[in-house]
Chain A
Amino acid sequence: EVQLVESGGGEVQPGESLRLSCVGSGFTFNSYWMHWVRQVPGKGLVWVSRIFRDEKGASYADSVKGRFTVSRDNAKNALYLQMNNLRVEDTAIYYCVREDYSNSGFWFDPWGQGIAVTVSP
Protein backbone atom coordinates (compact mmCIF):
# COMPACT_ATOMS: atom_id res chain seq x y z
CA GLU A 1 0.00 0.00 0.00
CA VAL A 2 1.28 3.44 -0.93
CA GLN A 3 1.38 5.51 2.23
CA LEU A 4 2.66 8.78 3.63
CA VAL A 5 2.91 9.40 7.37
CA GLU A 6 3.67 12.81 8.82
CA SER A 7 5.06 13.64 12.23
CA GLY A 8 6.55 16.55 14.12
CA GLY A 9 3.63 18.90 14.49
CA GLY A 10 2.69 20.71 17.66
CA GLU A 11 2.10 24.08 19.28
CA VAL A 12 4.73 26.80 19.32
CA GLN A 13 4.89 30.52 19.89
CA PRO A 14 5.37 33.10 17.15
CA GLY A 15 8.98 33.33 16.03
CA GLU A 16 9.78 29.76 17.02
CA SER A 17 10.69 26.85 14.75
CA LEU A 18 9.27 23.43 13.99
CA ARG A 19 10.35 20.60 11.73
CA LEU A 20 7.83 18.35 10.05
CA SER A 21 8.74 14.90 8.77
CA CYS A 22 7.01 12.58 6.34
CA VAL A 23 7.95 8.99 5.59
CA GLY A 24 6.78 7.27 2.43
CA SER A 25 6.26 3.56 1.94
CA GLY A 26 4.95 1.23 -0.73
CA PHE A 27 6.56 3.08 -3.63
CA THR A 28 9.94 4.12 -5.01
CA PHE A 29 10.29 7.36 -3.07
CA ASN A 30 13.12 8.83 -5.16
CA SER A 31 11.04 8.61 -8.35
CA TYR A 32 8.57 11.30 -7.33
CA TRP A 33 8.38 15.01 -6.67
CA MET A 34 7.01 15.64 -3.20
CA HIS A 35 4.97 18.50 -1.78
CA TRP A 36 3.68 20.10 1.36
CA VAL A 37 0.14 21.48 1.29
CA ARG A 38 -1.62 23.14 4.21
CA GLN A 39 -5.19 23.79 5.26
CA VAL A 40 -6.65 25.97 7.93
CA PRO A 41 -9.47 23.87 9.42
CA GLY A 42 -12.70 24.73 7.68
CA LYS A 43 -10.88 26.58 4.90
CA GLY A 44 -9.37 25.72 1.54
CA LEU A 45 -6.10 24.06 0.68
CA VAL A 46 -2.94 26.00 -0.06
CA TRP A 47 0.21 24.71 -1.72
CA VAL A 48 3.31 25.37 0.37
CA SER A 49 6.36 23.77 -1.20
CA ARG A 50 7.69 21.28 -3.74
CA ILE A 51 10.98 19.41 -4.05
CA PHE A 52 12.29 17.51 -7.06
CA ARG A 53 13.28 13.87 -7.02
CA ASP A 54 17.00 14.46 -6.63
CA GLU A 55 16.89 16.40 -3.34
CA LYS A 56 17.64 19.59 -5.22
CA GLY A 57 15.37 22.12 -6.80
CA ALA A 58 12.79 23.37 -4.37
CA SER A 59 9.95 25.86 -4.80
CA TYR A 60 7.88 27.74 -2.24
CA ALA A 61 4.71 29.74 -1.92
CA ASP A 62 5.41 33.44 -1.48
CA SER A 63 3.88 33.34 2.00
CA VAL A 64 6.60 31.00 3.31
CA LYS A 65 9.57 31.88 1.12
CA GLY A 66 12.63 32.66 3.21
CA ARG A 67 11.16 31.06 6.33
CA PHE A 68 10.44 27.45 5.31
CA THR A 69 12.90 24.97 3.83
CA VAL A 70 11.90 21.68 2.22
CA SER A 71 14.34 18.80 2.00
CA ARG A 72 14.36 15.08 1.51
CA ASP A 73 16.50 12.07 2.30
CA ASN A 74 15.82 9.48 -0.36
CA ALA A 75 17.85 6.86 1.50
CA LYS A 76 15.33 7.14 4.34
CA ASN A 77 12.25 7.71 2.12
CA ALA A 78 11.75 10.89 4.07
CA LEU A 79 10.53 14.41 3.33
CA TYR A 80 11.02 17.32 5.70
CA LEU A 81 9.75 20.85 6.17
CA GLN A 82 11.83 23.11 8.39
CA MET A 83 9.62 25.99 9.47
CA ASN A 84 11.39 28.97 11.01
CA ASN A 85 10.09 32.29 12.31
CA LEU A 86 6.59 30.86 12.51
CA ARG A 87 3.61 33.20 12.42
CA VAL A 88 0.10 32.87 13.75
CA GLU A 89 -1.11 32.63 10.16
CA ASP A 90 0.98 29.47 9.66
CA THR A 91 -1.45 27.64 11.91
CA ALA A 92 -2.90 24.81 9.81
CA ILE A 93 -3.01 21.12 9.09
CA TYR A 94 0.02 20.26 6.97
CA TYR A 95 -0.20 17.46 4.44
CA CYS A 96 2.65 15.60 2.82
CA VAL A 97 1.69 14.78 -0.77
CA ARG A 98 3.20 12.79 -3.62
CA GLU A 99 2.96 14.17 -7.13
CA ASP A 100 2.05 11.30 -9.41
CA TYR A 101 2.39 11.63 -13.16
CA SER A 102 1.90 10.15 -16.58
CA ASN A 103 2.39 11.44 -20.09
CA SER A 104 -0.99 13.15 -19.76
CA GLY A 105 -0.43 15.19 -16.63
CA PHE A 106 0.37 15.47 -12.95
CA TRP A 107 -1.75 15.09 -9.84
CA PHE A 108 -1.55 14.69 -6.07
CA ASP A 109 -1.82 11.13 -4.81
CA PRO A 110 -1.63 9.99 -2.12
CA TRP A 111 -1.93 12.47 0.73
CA GLY A 112 -0.63 11.88 4.22
CA GLN A 113 -3.06 11.94 7.12
CA GLY A 114 -2.08 15.51 8.00
CA ILE A 115 -0.29 16.96 11.00
CA ALA A 116 -1.44 19.94 13.04
CA VAL A 117 0.73 22.98 13.55
CA THR A 118 -0.49 25.67 15.94
CA VAL A 119 1.29 28.98 16.36
CA SER A 120 -0.12 30.85 19.31
CA PRO A 121 1.18 33.66 21.57
Chain B
Amino acid sequence: DVQLTQSPSSLAASIGDTVTITCRASQNIKNYLSWYQQRPGRAPKLLIYSASALHSGVPSRFSGSGSETDFTLTISSLQPEDFASYFCVQSYDTPPYSFGQGTKVEIK
Protein backbone atom coordinates (compact mmCIF):
# COMPACT_ATOMS: atom_id res chain seq x y z
CA ASP B 1 0.00 0.00 0.00
CA VAL B 2 1.13 3.56 -0.71
CA GLN B 3 1.86 5.59 2.40
CA LEU B 4 1.57 9.37 2.30
CA THR B 5 3.59 11.45 4.75
CA GLN B 6 2.30 15.00 5.02
CA SER B 7 4.15 17.77 6.79
CA PRO B 8 3.97 19.81 8.84
CA SER B 9 1.04 18.63 10.94
CA SER B 10 0.31 22.24 11.83
CA LEU B 11 1.67 25.67 11.17
CA ALA B 12 0.97 29.22 12.26
CA ALA B 13 1.04 32.01 9.71
CA SER B 14 -0.11 35.57 9.23
CA ILE B 15 -2.42 37.12 6.66
CA GLY B 16 -0.41 37.71 3.50
CA ASP B 17 2.16 35.01 4.20
CA THR B 18 3.04 32.25 1.78
CA VAL B 19 2.76 28.76 3.22
CA THR B 20 3.97 25.45 1.84
CA ILE B 21 2.69 21.99 2.73
CA THR B 22 4.42 18.85 1.51
CA CYS B 23 3.20 15.34 0.84
CA ARG B 24 5.64 12.49 0.25
CA ALA B 25 4.57 9.15 -1.19
CA SER B 26 6.25 5.88 -0.29
CA GLN B 27 6.46 4.95 -3.98
CA ASN B 28 6.09 6.55 -7.39
CA ILE B 29 2.49 7.69 -7.85
CA LYS B 30 3.19 9.71 -11.00
CA ASN B 31 0.92 12.75 -10.68
CA TYR B 32 -2.08 10.98 -9.15
CA LEU B 33 -2.27 13.28 -6.16
CA SER B 34 -4.95 15.74 -5.11
CA TRP B 35 -5.22 18.37 -2.38
CA TYR B 36 -8.27 19.29 -0.29
CA GLN B 37 -9.27 21.99 2.17
CA GLN B 38 -11.48 21.28 5.16
CA ARG B 39 -12.89 23.95 7.40
CA PRO B 40 -14.08 22.96 10.90
CA GLY B 41 -17.39 21.14 10.83
CA ARG B 42 -17.50 21.12 7.03
CA ALA B 43 -16.91 18.57 4.30
CA PRO B 44 -13.60 18.61 2.44
CA LYS B 45 -13.37 20.57 -0.80
CA LEU B 46 -11.13 19.84 -3.77
CA LEU B 47 -8.39 22.39 -4.44
CA ILE B 48 -5.87 20.72 -6.76
CA TYR B 49 -6.03 17.54 -8.84
CA SER B 50 -3.44 15.69 -10.89
CA ALA B 51 -0.78 17.28 -8.66
CA SER B 52 -0.95 20.72 -10.24
CA ALA B 53 -4.32 21.37 -11.88
CA LEU B 54 -6.39 24.05 -10.16
CA HIS B 55 -9.99 23.00 -9.60
CA SER B 56 -12.64 25.27 -11.06
CA GLY B 57 -13.53 28.16 -8.76
CA VAL B 58 -10.47 27.80 -6.53
CA PRO B 59 -8.50 31.05 -6.11
CA SER B 60 -5.24 31.24 -8.02
CA ARG B 61 -3.27 31.80 -4.80
CA PHE B 62 -3.47 28.02 -4.40
CA SER B 63 -1.00 26.03 -6.44
CA GLY B 64 0.32 22.49 -6.53
CA SER B 65 3.52 21.01 -7.83
CA GLY B 66 5.52 17.81 -7.85
CA SER B 67 5.47 14.34 -9.31
CA GLU B 68 6.44 10.76 -8.51
CA THR B 69 7.02 10.90 -4.74
CA ASP B 70 7.28 14.54 -3.71
CA PHE B 71 4.43 17.02 -3.87
CA THR B 72 3.78 20.53 -2.60
CA LEU B 73 0.74 22.68 -1.96
CA THR B 74 1.50 26.40 -1.82
CA ILE B 75 -0.85 29.09 -0.62
CA SER B 76 0.35 32.55 -1.62
CA SER B 77 -0.84 35.64 0.20
CA LEU B 78 -2.79 33.81 2.89
CA GLN B 79 -6.33 35.09 3.39
CA PRO B 80 -8.56 34.80 6.50
CA GLU B 81 -10.71 32.14 4.86
CA ASP B 82 -7.62 29.97 4.23
CA PHE B 83 -7.19 29.10 7.88
CA ALA B 84 -8.31 25.50 7.72
CA SER B 85 -6.94 21.99 7.45
CA TYR B 86 -5.42 20.63 4.27
CA PHE B 87 -4.73 17.08 3.21
CA CYS B 88 -3.48 15.13 0.23
CA VAL B 89 -4.82 11.94 -1.34
CA GLN B 90 -3.22 9.48 -3.76
CA SER B 91 -5.28 7.68 -6.39
CA TYR B 92 -2.58 5.84 -8.33
CA ASP B 93 -2.21 2.53 -6.54
CA THR B 94 -5.67 1.65 -5.27
CA PRO B 95 -7.33 0.30 -3.30
CA PRO B 96 -6.77 1.47 -0.69
CA TYR B 97 -6.80 5.20 -1.31
CA SER B 98 -4.25 6.83 0.96
CA PHE B 99 -4.70 10.12 2.75
CA GLY B 100 -2.07 12.37 4.24
CA GLN B 101 -2.37 13.01 7.96
CA GLY B 102 -3.45 16.61 7.38
CA THR B 103 -2.01 20.04 8.05
CA LYS B 104 -3.82 22.58 10.20
CA VAL B 105 -3.08 26.17 9.19
CA GLU B 106 -3.65 28.51 12.12
CA ILE B 107 -3.43 32.24 12.61
CA LYS B 108 -0.19 33.48 14.13
Contact = CB atoms under 8 A, between A and B. Distances in A.
A44 B102 contact: yes
Contact of A61 (B49, B55, B96): B96
Contacts of A104: 31, 50, 53
Interface residues of B, number: 25
A106 B92 CA distance: 8
A29 B99 CA distance: 25
A50 interface: yes
A62 to B, nearest CB: 8
B97 A35 contact: yes
A102 interface: yes
Interface string B32-61: 101010000001111001110101000000
B90 to A, nearest CB: 10
A50 B95 contact: yes
Given A107-B50, A109-B55, A44 B101 contact: yes
Interface string A40-70: 0000111100100000000111100000000
A26 interface: no
Q: Which secondary structure characterizes the binding site on chain A?
A: strand
B48 to A, nearest CB: 9
B8 to A, nearest CB: 14
B71 interface: no
Nearest to B102: A44
Interface stretch (A71-79, A80-88, A111-119): A111-119
Given A44-B99, A44-B102, A47-B97, A105 B91 contact: yes
Contact of A107 (B89, B101, B102): B89
B43 A59 contact: no
A108 B55 CA distance: 11
B87 interface: yes
A90 to B, nearest CB: 16
Interface of B: 31-32, 34, 36, 43-46, 49-51, 53, 55, 87, 89, 91, 94-102
